[in-house]
């Protein structure tokens, strides 16, 4: 059993509940459609917000981000509200990736961000 087998369902429930404020300051629920299957998927993920733009980080090892390689509409549970936006995956230069990680993961040691950066991607969402 993977930690995400328990974490994801609990976070999905929490982010959709009236208790969302316990985690929604830095975690949202990303809902997207599979590019091949047409099935709806959702995943909890940390974010940083700058105006109408959200920055999310994911590992290249996860497969779900491939659904967002081209600009795609997404739904979000963001601070207790369902909002829509357009998401796209970015593979920035290492220094940009490190800076994004430090914004999304408050308090991450710089050395750890540098180590994780080559295996990570940014998902940029522009809110509607």
Q: What is the pLDDT of residues 82-91, one digit of tens each?
A: 999 999 999 8
The reported pLDDT for the residue numbered 78 is 97
User: Does the pLDDT at position 111 exceed 80?
Assistant: yes
Please report the pLDDT score of residue 4 as a whole number.
67
**CATH (domain of 59):** 2.30.110.10
- Contact indicator for 63, 4 with CB cutoff of 8 Å: no
Q: Is the pLDDT of residue 116 over 80?
A: yes
What are the angstrom distances between the C-alpha of 104 and each of 14, 37, 101? 20, 30, 5
Mean pLDDT for the chain? 95
Structural domain including 53 reads 4-127
Predicted TM-score (pTM) of the model is 0.92
Number of structural domains in the chain: 1
Distance CA 117, CA 122 (A): 10
């Amino acid at each position: 059993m993977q930690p995400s087998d328990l974490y994801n369902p609990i976070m999905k429930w929490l982010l959709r509940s009236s208790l969302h404020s316990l985690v929604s300051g830095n975690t949202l629920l990303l809902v997207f459609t599979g590019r091949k299957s047409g099935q709806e998927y959702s995943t909890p993920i940390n974010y940083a917000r700058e105006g109408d733009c959200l920055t999310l980080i994911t590992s290249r090892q996860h497969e779900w981000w491939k659904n967002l390689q081209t600009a795609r509409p997404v739904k979000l549970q963001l601070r207790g509200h369902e909002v829509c936006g357009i998401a796209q995956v970015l593979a920035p230069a290492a220094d940009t990736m490190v800076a994004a990680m430090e914004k999304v993961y408050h308090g991450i040691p710089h050395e750890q961000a540098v180590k994780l950066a080559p295996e990570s991607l940014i998902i940029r969402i522009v809110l509607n």
